[in-house]
Homo-oligomer: A and B are copies of this chain.
Amino acid sequence: MLMRSSLLPIISLLTTEWALAQFTTPAAVPTGVAVQGDYTGPLRPRVHFSPPAGFMNDPNGLFKDNNGTWHLYYQYNPTDIVAGNQHWGHATSPNLYEWTNQPIALFPPNSTTGVFSGSAVIDANNTSGFFQNTTEGVVAIYTLNTPQKQVQEIAYSYDGGYTFTPYSGNPVLDVGSNQFRDPKVVWYNDHWVMVIAYAAEYVIGIYTSPDLKDWTHASNVSHIGFLGIQYECPNLVKLPVKNSTSNDDQDGWVLTISINPGAPLGGSITQYYPGQFNGTHFEPYDRATRLSNFAKDDYAGQFFYDEPVSIGWASNWEYTNIVPTGSEGWRSSMTLPRTNYLVDSGVRGYHLVQEIYDVSPILSKKLSSSDNNLVNTTISNMNFDNGIYFDMNITLPSDVTFSADASINFTISTQTSRECVKGGYILASSTPYTIWLDRGQTDGFDNPFYTDKFSESQLKPAKRIQGMMDRSVFEVYIDNGAVVGTMDVYPTEPFTTLSVGSRSLPKGSEITFSAWELKDVWA
């Protein structure tokens, strides 16, 4: 979904050299064949999905088919490198990292209409009546955006999600609003449940349906968390609960709401609310507001249908239309895929944990200088080509008092060391137990909204830090995804070197450290 129903103008007023790039996008939208992409540009992520060409935003319609193939659709402008002309692009993968671009799945019927965000379900019991001979029927539920209003439509697929036919009875939900969008549908016991944003009213509507065609309003969740200027892209899904203090509640629900603009850090961000859902009404466990990411580039995340796995859009509306990847003919990538669960963290309430999905398929050679104990030493100059993934496990003595400068630090530099991304973990100071990131020492992009420094604090010291530099996307995951930071980075030359170390850690500390070169999944 776009924040306005009209095409978005391009920012040209800002003090940046990155106005519109020279790249020429196709004049016509390819039908029936996959859009071709050139994945060789130096800013192209190797394992974070990016569109073959043109502009991508929200992940849509995520589901895993009965063959185990993951389907990723996405808001897609195949004819320009700025948002607008929204289609549903499509890619498939056996492992959520190695993607095959598929033909565009959903097309707008005319030039003033957009196929906005939505979700997909497998209608195994043929509740819709579309599927007589299969338990693998796929139905996409999406917002059709016209200059007049936003209505909800459905389309069905007989071939497992590769091609779709719009339902002849569309729209299936029309409240006469031009700010009503982004349906996400799940199955609850004996009926379908849709959450959808009344974007300008700060309301998430909950609707139910027996057949995906007739929808009945059940309840609203209103004015919760940071309001921003608009609510978008809600999700309401059931997740496992680990470490629950009460054994009778091994599953919990989480409502996510994305806001744009108006995030605390500026622009777009996603917040979440763990709670209870009874099939018609959602009640959060508490009145706390929690963000799913402490950096600035993780928006509109969606869960795969009936899976605890999610993917977010790794960008921010404050600058997404002008970032320098436009010079390579594409803009925006997705976050890493994540396996999610809830943790009852005691006094701080329920917390969403977003583990990196199994990375083994994308690890290339292990770097020879890894596997050291990093306590109070530095490993410099670990070199890589495509990108790097590192993983450190930290064991600290219990009940220790830290020196004031106890910390873990990492720097990822370009070949000439002129540019770098820095980060670290503070164990003691005015703000102990804090992860920080700094993308300010790169030269490829400058913009009043391109915030450079991010941090988040924890109650206890981190036990694990995972990081991945993937050309123009950096992500850090603390304690298996209890804290996640995602930020786009735009160097003018490729990142090639990691240095990592720690200092002033107490006696008895251990840090096991490993790092791997990333595989180039597009090679």
Contacts and interface: CB of A to CB of B under 8 A. Distances in A.
Interface in A362-409: 404-407
Contacts of A267: 431, 455
Interface in A7-25: 8-13
A453 B223 contact: no
B455 A266 contact: yes
Interface stretch (A43-51, A128-136, A181-189, A434-442): A434-442
B431 A318 contact: yes
A434 B404 contact: no
A455 B266 CA distance: 5
Contacts of A288: 202, 223-227
A503 B229 CA distance: 24
Contact of A455 (B3, B284, B349, B449): B449
Contacts of A319: 430
A465 to B, nearest CB: 15
A158 interface: no
Contacts of A349: 202, 223, 227
A430 B320 contact: yes
A454 interface: yes
A34 interface: no
A500 interface: no
Which one of A3, A260, A449, A456 has the highest number of Cβ atoms from chain B below 10 Å of its Cβ?
Answer: A449
A163 interface: no
A30 to B, nearest CB: 26
A86 B260 CA distance: 41
A261 B434 CA distance: 9
Chain copies in complex = 2
Interface string A447-458: 011111111111
A267 B450 CA distance: 19
Given A348-B202, A449-B453, A11 B228 contact: no
Contact of A264 (B265, B321, B404): B265
A429 interface: yes
Interface in A411-434: 422, 424, 426, 428-431, 433-434
B11 A405 contact: yes
B223 A287 contact: yes
Interface in A139-156: none
Given A11-B430, A404-B10, A452-B440, A291 B264 contact: yes
A221 to B, nearest CB: 9
Which one of A226, A407, A448 has the highest number of Cβ atoms from chain B below 10 Å of its Cβ?
Answer: A448
Given A11-B430, A13-B429, 20 more contacts: A9-B404, A9-B428, A9-B429, A12-B404, A13-B405, A13-B504, A226-B288, A226-B290, A227-B348, A229-B458, A263-B264, A265-B265, A266-B436, A266-B453, A266-B455, A318-B434, A431-B449, A436-B448, A448-B455, A451-B453
